[in-house]
Amino acid sequence: MAITAQAPKQKEWAEEGGHWYCAKTGDARYEIIGANGVKRGTTLRDARKHHLVPSVTTIAQIEAKPQLTRWLIEQAALACITLPKMPGENATDFMARAIDDSKQQARAAAARGSYLHGLMEETMRTGRVQFNQESDIGYIQPVFDWLCVNFPGYTWNVERTIPPTLGYGGKVDLTGTHPTLPPVTIDYKCKDFDDPKKKLAYDEHCTQLAAYNRALYPEFYLNARTPRGLNIFISSTKPGLYIVHEWTKEDLHRGWLAFQAMQALWTVRKKFDA
């Protein structure tokens, strides 16, 4: 078993909030200083003015995500049947309160996922399993062990910034290179699930990895070679449960075609030209 180490209590782990990157360097531009001197989130108008490019996930938001929509509806419905109605509360006020409650549940799930994601990030950066509580180890150790067993000899790069040469930017959870084997791009998804047979991998995940690979490894595609792309779904509620899904070369090719179409549509709809 790998050595474990206490994780720092305060750490600037990657978050999902960043959507814009410098068109020249690829560096993140999550926030800017506004005209009033106060720091705020970067907007589309800012991106046009400062020559920024959107992230892969920002572009991909233009595609409908039925699974996410269904989950959000289910959370709202659950709130409606579990929340007690306040005395004298009308239907409009009750629905507003139920929707707010369902959003709180979503935020809690996202916070838990981000926490485990951060531990996984720091584990791969240091080469030792990181934790703040003993119970954290059960979630992180199995995934770390799997990576060590299945990718011997690989050199890992955590939160690698992709070059913005194709008109988009982003940071990749984990990339691995090997002297003789194809590189691998890995994206973690920390989710609330307890069924090892649950379907978690969808086309949108493949599209994201395909876009990353095309920007990271253009020389491979020139030589008709395909880097590997994997999603690792980590349960945020059941220690030791994770599902690995590797996309085929054909999957990644279709994912790239889909992303190109989304990027073209996004650019037109947003009237955007970095």
Distance of CA 194 to the CA centre of its chain: 20
Residues 6+ apart with CB under 8 A from 62: 262, 265, 266, 269
- Whether 17 contacts 30, CB under 8 Å: yes
pTM: 0.86
End-to-end CA distance of the chain: 48
Mean pLDDT of all residues in 167-189: 96
Give per-residue pLDDT as tens, 86-105.
Answer: 999 999 999 899 888 888 87
- Output the pLDDT for position 14: 41
Which amino acid is residue 224, in one-letter code? Answer: A
Any bridge partners for residue 131, and if so which? 6
Evaluate if residue 8 carries a pLDDT over 60: no
Domain 17-269, second-level architecture: Alpha-Beta Complex (3.90)
Distance between CA atoms of residues 77 and 2, nearest Å:
43
CA distances from 81 to 69, 76, 94, 95, 101 (A): 19, 9, 11, 11, 12
Cβ 157 vs Cβ 21: under 8 Å: no
Per-residue confidence band for 1, with pLDDT thresholds at 50, 70 and 90: very low
Instruction: Locate 95 and state its tokens.
Output: 């629905």
Look at residue 6 in the predicted model and tell me its pLDDT: 52
> Dihedrals φ, ψ of 124, to 5°?
-70, -25
Spatial distance between the Cα atoms of 160 and 186, rounded to a whole number of angstroms: 11
Task: Return d(Cα 177, Cα 155) in angstroms, integer.
Answer: 5
Mean pLDDT of the chain: 90
How does pLDDT run across 174-183, given as a tens digit for each residue?
999 999 999 9
Could you tell me which residues come within 8 angstroms of residue 160 by beta carbon, excluding any fewer than 6 positions away? 171, 172, 175, 216
Higher pLDDT, 224 or 121: 121
* Banded pLDDT at 130 (limits 50, 70, 90): very high
Q: Are 14 and 118 in contact (CB under 8 A)?
A: yes
Provide the β-strand partners of residue 52: 22
Distance CA 28, CA 25 (A): 9
Please spell the DSSP secondary structure of 36-50, one letter per residue.
TS-EEE--HHHHHHH
209 and 252 Cβ atoms separated by less than 8 Å: yes
- The answer on pLDDT for 169 being more than 70 is yes
Tell me if residue 191 falls in helix, strand or coil.
Answer: strand
pLDDT at position 140 over 60: yes
Domain limits of the chain?
17-269
Residue pLDDT, tens place only, 209-241: 999 999 999 999 888 788 999 999 999 999 999
pLDDT score at 229: 98
C-alpha to C-alpha distance for 181 and 218, rounded to whole angstroms = 16
